[in-house]
Structure 1
Amino acid sequence: MMHPNGVAAQTQKLRVGDRIVTICGTSTEGMTHTQAVNLMKNASGSIEMQVVAGGDVSVVTGHQQELANPCLAFTGLTSSSIFSDDLGPPQCKTITLDRGPDGLGFSIVGGYGSPHGDLPIYVKTVFAKGAAAEDGRLKRGDQIIAVNGQSLEGVTHEEAVAILKRTKGTVTLMVLS
């Protein structure tokens, strides 16, 4: 989530679902949510983050032009403008959708061997029509952990798409939101 009045939201460069790769030059790989929050809160002055856009490859050049992966780099974000408080760890929830004539109504991004590295499966878009829009709980940036009890850990993007397409009727998603 982003505070709607914060600098991060005002830049219109950071989006829910984007993957923060570094904070002030420190890699976020293996970092806990609390560690990332503390790193941002304790940064003095501006914060520089490198971000892989959630599925849409866009490049905004900042100080990090030498990067091999397309990243967004931006400065000028202050820790107080990003977090008004620690929202705590992501919430795990179960969402049950009834596949109708318009399908499940969302697209995914990520997967093992993706162009951005080995990533979990995330919701890229919730379409205006379909079961997800009707239900209203699934959001862009949610991580899908399992579909009808089948784990998506370590699957490729194509395998995840196939798993979702094979589902019929009622579909239960375990989601990290």
Structure 2
Amino acid sequence: MSPTMEEGGENSDPLTCPIIPGRETTIEINKGKAGLGVSIVGGSDSLLDAVLVHTVYEQGAAAKDGRLWPGDRILSVNNHSLRHATHDEAIEVLRNTPGRVHLTVHRDENRWGSRSESDVYDIYDVQLVKKSGRGLGLSIVGRKQEKKAVDIELHRGSDGLGFSIVGGHGSPHGDLPIYVKSVFSIGAAAVDGRLRRGDRIVSVNGEKLDGYTHEEAAEALKRRVSRIVLRVVP
């Protein structure tokens, strides 16, 4: 058997192997003078809790290589794990890579069909024009802060709880906590007024959701009849 072929004839050479959706794949990219040419989003200090490829720039080595796509999760860089890295730590690791870069990545096999269900943030390109002698007058926000959990008591009526969730163990972006995706205009959450998009749900009536899949968390919410106590981290 060829050293670059796995059983069954699959190419395992990091220089040429394809990224197979649903599997962790290690690829090698030669940066050259152009640089790697990718930007990232997320990190352990964000709601995504994972480092994802945001943009693959046309002039960079990754674009010329052709295998890395926006939305791919970067698990490690040259054996340096990014599974629990903050955004800044991930950037620092990528900046200090040598000419040959080994990336271990994971691509969700249903990514194109489920992206709209999984995105936590809306991303916009904004052009800012700086006037002479003036600053831009903005600050960067959105970094997750340590906040205390609060209890929100909801009473389910005929309109239901009135919110949807995202995330969970085994989600398209990895093993994530359970977050509030949307709060509908009708339902118990809208009547109460405290639950917000992006809130992390820690427990439902004392039942901790740590390690729950999306389906298990949804079931925990569905099987509670009337009085619901959500412990959330805003």
TM-score by length of 2: 0.45
- 1:58-69 matched pairs, under 5 angstroms: none
Q: What residue number does 1:30 align with? A: 84
Q: What residue number does 1:97 align with? A: 154
User: Structure 1 residues 88 and 108, CA, compared in 2 at 3 Å: closer, same or farther?
Assistant: closer
Return the letter of the residue paired with 2:165.
Answer: I
Q: What residue number does 1:164 align with? A: 221
Q: What residue number does 1:6 align with? A: none
More strand by share: 1
User: Any idea what the Cα deviations from partners look like across 1:119-169, whole Å, max 9, x if unmatched?
Assistant: 111000100000000001000000100000001000111111111000011
Structure 1 distance, partners of 2:144, 2:162, is: 28
Return the letter of the residue paired with 2:190.
Answer: A
Aligned length: 128
Task: Select 1:110's aligned residue among 167, 182, 189.
Answer: 167
Q: What residue number does 2:181 align with? A: 124
What SS is found at the alignment partner of 2:115?
coil
Q: What residue number does 2:41 align with? A: none
User: Structure 1 residues 158 and 122, CA, compared in 2 at 3 Å: closer, same or farther?
Assistant: same
For the 8 Å contact 1:123–1:144, the answer to whether it is kept is: yes
Which 5+ residue runs of structure 2 have no aligned equivalent?
Answer: 1-45, 53-73, 93-113, 117-122, 129-135
Q: What residue number does 1:14 align with? A: none
Identity, % of aligned positions: 48
Q: What residue number does 1:57 align with? A: 115
Structure 2 distance, partners of 1:155, 1:164, is: 12
Structure 2 distance, partners of 1:171, 1:116, is: 28
Return the letter of the residue paired with 2:170.
Answer: G
Deviation at 1:21, TM superposition (A): 4.0
Cα RMSD (Å) of the superposition? 3.9
Q: What residue number does 1:19 align with? A: 48
Q: What residue number does 2:207 align with? A: 150
Larger radius of gyration: 2
User: Any idea what the Cα deviations from partners look like across 1:39-77, whole Å, max 9, x if unmatched?
Assistant: 59xx9xxxxxxxxxxxx726xxxxxxxxxxxxx697989
Return the letter of the residue paired with 2:201.
Answer: I
TM-score by length of 1: 0.58
Return the letter of the residue paired with 1:19.
Answer: L
